[in-house]
Amino acid sequence: MARISAGPADALAPGERTFVKHRNFEIGVFNVNGEFRAYRNRCPHQLGPACEGAISGTLMGSADTDWQLEWVLDGRVLLCPWHQVEFDLDTGERIRGLGERLRAYTVEVDDGELYVHV
């Protein structure tokens, strides 16, 4: 397993991202409300650069809200820039659709530095 440096942890503020390369692919590293997440920069939908998309929230309705739409997951939804496919940054799972997910990697903070395990 490779351990790739992604820079100082304190340089990646909540809501921001950085990218690292490993061999022939790129990984997006995100600070999601103080928690670090890393995903391969490839959308499972049509192989677009998912990690380059906007970070937002989404509208959802449920039985709990009597099916009224409400804004949820603010700052935790990644929108693939090719087709606006939404992914939950906490899990990498596609929010609506066929059960697709982004390829996730473990992120470690060691002595103030971020490392992605590939």
CATH code of the domain covering residue 77: 2.102.10.10
Please check the confidence at residue 65 and state whether its pLDDT lies above 90: no
C-alpha–C-alpha distance, residues 20 and 115, integer Å: 10
> What mean pLDDT is predicted for residues 9-27?
96
Q: What is the pLDDT of residues 66-91, one digit of tens each?
A: 999 999 999 999 999 999 999 999 99
State residue 4's pLDDT score: 96
Q: What tokens does 118 get?
A: 């590939």
Give the pLDDT band of residue 1 (cuts 50, 70, 90). Answer: confident
Instruction: List, in sequence order, every residue forming a beta bridge with 50; answer none if it has no partner.
Output: none
Q: What is the pLDDT of residues 19-59, one digit of tens each?
A: 999 999 999 999 999 999 999 999 998 999 999 999 999 99
Q: What are the CA-CA distances from residue 52 to residues 7, 70, 71, 112 (Å)? A: 18, 25, 22, 25
- Report the predicted TM-score, pTM, of the whole model to 2 decimal places: 0.92
Q: Which distant-in-sequence residues (6+ apart) come within 8 Å of 84 by Cβ?
A: 53
Closest CA to 44 of 85, 88, 90: 85
Total domains in the chain come to 1
State residue 62's pLDDT score: 86
Write out the residue range of the structural domain in which residue 36 sits.
Answer: 3-117
Closest CA to 29 of 21, 93, 100: 21
